[in-house]
């Protein structure tokens, strides 16, 4: 039994869904459970119409509502059998009538509470999974639809809910696993519910997470993440084209890359997979012959020091300095209490006795944080910075890597450097405009030759 997750671009149209059905058909012997994202940019459109309703522009919200309904009708009509058109009409009517009612409620509220964010956002995956199920049947697959909200159970932290694993796994074992023995099960990613039935979501990009949770719950032999790229690359193609495909990588390395900007994988995806030791494959629905990237639990031996270079743009560096704290205890505690108070995650940290530099990518509460920190220290903020992260199991075992990094970056000003506690990564911060030059220099330094067993 396997889990196959298909992203929004993989199910964005009737043509794309037909392509997906062909991929699934080739793996019927492995008893696939299919997890789908919303079609195309549906989630963005849902949030846009909600924003219009909250702002009191109900006519514009309903225009977007009608436009989105028509989009789903047009693509679904091309993808399903004529005999199923009445079912399609019922599905669209049910969902879009509900959605219109929620938009009216938002217009009356004049605000967009987190529970409503989850409700509105959920319609993309609810619609896509129902439509894909009908399309699969039309294309000759014996498909069954399962609403993920009935089996993926979470806490009440709306917009980024945490799964209640024992309850979720028990439901997946009882409901999904026996059904998948007989039919192709289709489920929506990203969506879930609380124990008392309130809709929640796992955060943007959470369809990958859903696939891993479902895979762990049914004891899948592997979890396949189908996207629109050939797998993980040695560098971000949006920053520097021409990187090599990474054939094999460890869970730890993949998690570091995902956290530091590799967009092909949701960072939380690997957690249930690691616990159950289930391999994760990154594959391309538009190039299914590609072997993609295989993520495994064991350390992957290679002659290359670095597996890949990840990037994060638009980060902010906060420099905190206080001579008053020389030889005083509690400096770090007071700094991090400020970030904790305003629920702002810190990515990288570099410290000395009286100064701390750290990076964040969420600046919503930065002004409040800085006001609090200025009670104990001088604070300087540098915006438009970029983090470059070298990831690889061999980094910790290789002497002289820092010398090679700084040698390669002799023409780039490095603002900050940090080695992760996992010792799988070495990260630096450069000015935003220097990002491409930094990545190109490091890629030339560490990938002038590649291990053919690990890189393609």
- Look at residues 233, 215, 235, 43 and name the one whose alpha carbon lies nearest to residue 128: 43
Residue 418, pLDDT > 90, answer no
Residue 187, pLDDT > 90, answer yes
> Quick one: CA dihedral 70, 76, 81, 83, positive or negative?
negative
Other C-beta atoms within 10 Å of 196: how many? 6
pLDDT of residue 353: 73
Residue 257, pLDDT > 90, answer no
Residue 252: pLDDT band with limits 50, 70, 90: confident
pLDDT, tens only, 156-167 = 999 999 999 999
Cα distance between residue 188 and residue 427, in whole Å: 35
DSSP bridge partners of 250: 296
| pLDDT average, residue stretch 193-199 | 97
pLDDT of residue 262: 67
First to last CA, the chain: 28
CATH fold of the domain at 308-446: VC0802-like (3.30.2130)
- Tell me where in the chain the CATH 3.40.1160.10 domain(s) lie: 2-228
Residue 10, pLDDT > 60, answer yes
What CATH class has 2-228?
alpha beta
Cα distance between residue 224 and residue 6, in whole Å: 9
Cα distance between residue 208 and residue 225, in whole Å: 7
Residue 177, pLDDT > 90, answer yes
Using an 8 Å Cβ cutoff, are 171 and 161 in contact? no
How many C-alpha atoms does 132 have within 13 Å on its Cβ side?
37
pLDDT, tens only, 361-383 = 999 999 999 999 999 899 999 99
Tell me how far the alpha carbon of residue 306 is from its chain's centroid: 23
Residue 148, pLDDT > 90, answer yes
């Amino acid at each position: 039994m396997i889990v196959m997750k298909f992203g929004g671009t993989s199910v964005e149209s009737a043509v794309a869904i037909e392509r997906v059905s062909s991929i699934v058909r080739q793996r019927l012997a492995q008893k696939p459970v299919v997890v789908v994202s919303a079609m195309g940019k549906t989630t963005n459109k849902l949030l846009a119409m909600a924003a219009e309703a909250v702002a009191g522009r109900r006519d514009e919200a309903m225009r977007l509502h009608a436009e989105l309904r028509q989009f789903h009708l047009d693509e679904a009509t091309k993808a399903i059998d004529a005999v199923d058109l009445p079912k399609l009409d019922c599905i669209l009517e049910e969902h879009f009538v509900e959605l219109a009612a929620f938009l009216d409620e938002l217009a009356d509220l004049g605000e967009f509470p987190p529970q409503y964010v989850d409700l509105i956002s959920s319609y993309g995956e609810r619609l896509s999974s129902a439509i894909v199920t009908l399309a699969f049947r039309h294309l000759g697959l014996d498909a069954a639809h399962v609403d993920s909200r009935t089996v993926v159970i979470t806490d009440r932290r709306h917009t980024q809910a945490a799964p209640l694993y024992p309850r979720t796994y028990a439901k997946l074992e009882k409901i999904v696993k026996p059904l998948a023995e007989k039919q192709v099960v289709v489920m929506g990613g990203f969506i879930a519910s609380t124990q008392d039935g309130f809709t929640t979501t796992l955060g943007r990009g959470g369809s990958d997470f859903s696939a891993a949770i479902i895979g762990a719950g049914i004891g899948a032999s592997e979890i396949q993440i189908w996207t629109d790229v050939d797998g993980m690359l040695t560098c971000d193609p949006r920053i520097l084209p021409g990187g090599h495909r990474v054939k094999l990588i460890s869970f730890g390395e993949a998690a570091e890359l995902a956290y530091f900007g590799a967009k092909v994988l949701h960072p939380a995806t690997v957690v249930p997979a690691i616990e159950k030791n289930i391999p994760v494959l990154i594959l391309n629905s538009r190039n299914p012959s590609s072997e993609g990237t295989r993520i495994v639990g064991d350390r992957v031996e290679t002659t290359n020091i670095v597996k890949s270079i990840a990037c994060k743009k638009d980060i902010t560096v906060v420099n905190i300095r206080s001579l008053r704290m020389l030889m005083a205890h509690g400096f770090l505690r007071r700094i991090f209490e400020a970030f904790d108070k305003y629920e702002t995650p810190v990515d990288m940290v570099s410290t000395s006795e009286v100064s701390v530099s750290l990076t964040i990518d969420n600046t919503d509460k930065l002004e409040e944080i800085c006001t609090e920190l200025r009670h104990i220290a001088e604070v300087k903020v540098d915006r438009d910075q970029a983090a470059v992260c070298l990831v690889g199991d061999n980094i910790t075992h290789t002497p002289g890597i820092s010398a090679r990094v700084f040698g390669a970056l002799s023409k780039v000003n490095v603002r900050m450097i940090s080695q992760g506690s996992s010792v799988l990564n070495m990260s630096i911060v450069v000015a935003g405009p220097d990002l491409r030059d930094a990545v190109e220099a490091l890629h030339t330094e560490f990938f002038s030759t590649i291990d053919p067993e690990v890189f393609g």
